[in-house]
Each structure stands twice: as C-alpha cells, then as structure tokens.
Amino acid sequence: MSKNINHIIPASGKATRLSGIPKFLLPIPNMNNLISFHLSLSENSKNFKNINIATNSSFYEIINNLEGLNSFKKLQAIEVLNTKTMNETINHFRYIDSEYFLLTMPDTFFTDREIIKKMIHEIETDQSLDCVLGLWNIKESQRIKVGQCKIKDNIVVEVIDKNPKYRFKHLWGSVLFRKSLWDFIDSNDPHIGYSFNPAIQSGLKVGYAIASGHYYDCGTIEEYWDMVREIKF
C-alpha cells in the first residue's frame, strides 16, 4: 500500500568550516552532491507524493540551475524562505495536504539507503505512532553535535541535544511524522529536535527504525572526509 508522504528538504546552510559553500553542494563520490542524494531518497518510491525544497534567496538560483534537477519528477517546488530557524522553515509546509511528512537534512549523508523504507514500515505497522525517527549508532566524535535518543520499551522516551555527558547509543538523523507533531514544532526553536521531548511529555508516541552503516554530518571537514573515504574506498 502506498503512502501519501511529502518530503521536506531545508537547504539553506553554509559550510562555514569548508570555505562557506552551500552544504548541500558538497560532492559525493559517484553520486553528484548531497542534495541530489536526498532527492533520490524519495523520487523513486511510490510512497511519496511530493518533494519540497526550502532555501533562501541567496541559494535559489544555485539550486534551480543544478544539473539533473529536472530528472526529479516529484520535486513540487523550490520555496524561497528567508527564515531564521529550521523550524520556521518547516512550519511553512504544515498545511500541505499530506498524510505524513519526511524531513531529511541535506548537509548529512548516510549509507543505509533502506532506512526510509524501514521508517515507513514502522509507522505503517504501528498506527499509534505519531512519529518515527531514523536512528544510527553514535560515533564518539559526534556526541557534541547530534541529538542522542534514549530508548525504552521500544519507543524513544527522551532526546538530548549536543551534550557529550550523555551516553545514549543512538543519534537521530531523519524524521517521519504525522500531522499530530505539528503542534510541537515551535518556529522559535532552532530545529525539529527540540520538538520531540515536548511531544513525548504530552503523550505522543515516538517510534524508531535503526539504520545500518554510518551517518555523517558533513558540516565539518573531518566528518566530510570520513564520509568520502568510506564511499570511495
């Protein structure tokens, strides 16, 4: 059974530690660039209705003129939103007529191409879930820059953002959610990770799917090169 999912890709960040270029343009060996990778996650799946990219006025022409962009038939729009936070950007899409929403961050890369299918399977199997997080095993160097997830009784019960003192096993890296999560996505918060704890405390049920392989936040040169070495070699 196909699902009605809208894929949201917020693409406005600069890689300040990588000469300030748009993060989504970082090249991937044999795969063009990061934003093309994220578009491909939903383009060939019957579960997805549309893809929406949100960017700022500085990056619009860059994205609009990317080679091969026309091949992504589910790309509904490239929205120009000069917003202050990721959550403010995400909230622009809250009234789209979709059953589910997938959020992926185009400054990241992961080697498990099946994780989105796993997330869809979880939310389809358990109708009580309001949200499913894609989880990866944390590398020690990532604790200071990711959201760590505490799991209990097969659900996520707490998310701790960028705190190396916590020793949870998994980080979250992608989000599939129902409309019920919109009430907890505050535009004043920096990103959607701040929405999970209020949602959990209010009774929403957050499930998860565990990915194989690795997850890379490509905003630093060290992690970007880690990703390149894994793919190429």
Report the CATH number at residue 195: 3.90.550.10
Task: Write down the pTM of the prediction.
Answer: 0.95
DSSP track, the chain: ----EEEEEE---EEGGGTTEEGGG-EETTTEEHHHHHHHHHHT-TTEEEEEEEE-TTTHHHHHT-TTGGG-TTEEEEEE---SSHHHHHHTTTTS--SEEEEE-TTEEES-TTHHHHHHHHHHH-TT-SEEEEEEEPPGGGTTTSEEEEEETTEEEEEEES-TT---SEEEEEEEEEGGGGGG--TTSSSTHHHHHHHHHTT--EEEEEPSS-EEETTSHHHHHHHHHHHH-
Residues spanned by the domain of 83: 5-232
pLDDT for residue 1: 44
Tally of domains within the chain: 1
Q: What is the pLDDT along the chain (233 residues), one digit of tens a residue?
A: 467 999 999 998 665 656 667 889 999 988 889 999 999 999 999 999 999 999 999 899 999 999 899 999 999 999 999 899 999 999 999 999 999 999 999 999 999 999 999 999 999 999 999 999 999 999 999 999 999 999 999 999 999 999 999 999 999 999 999 999 999 999 999 999 999 999 999 999 999 999 999 999 987 888 999 999 988 76
pLDDT for residue 3: 77
pLDDT for residue 14: 65
pLDDT for residue 49: 93
pLDDT for residue 31: 80
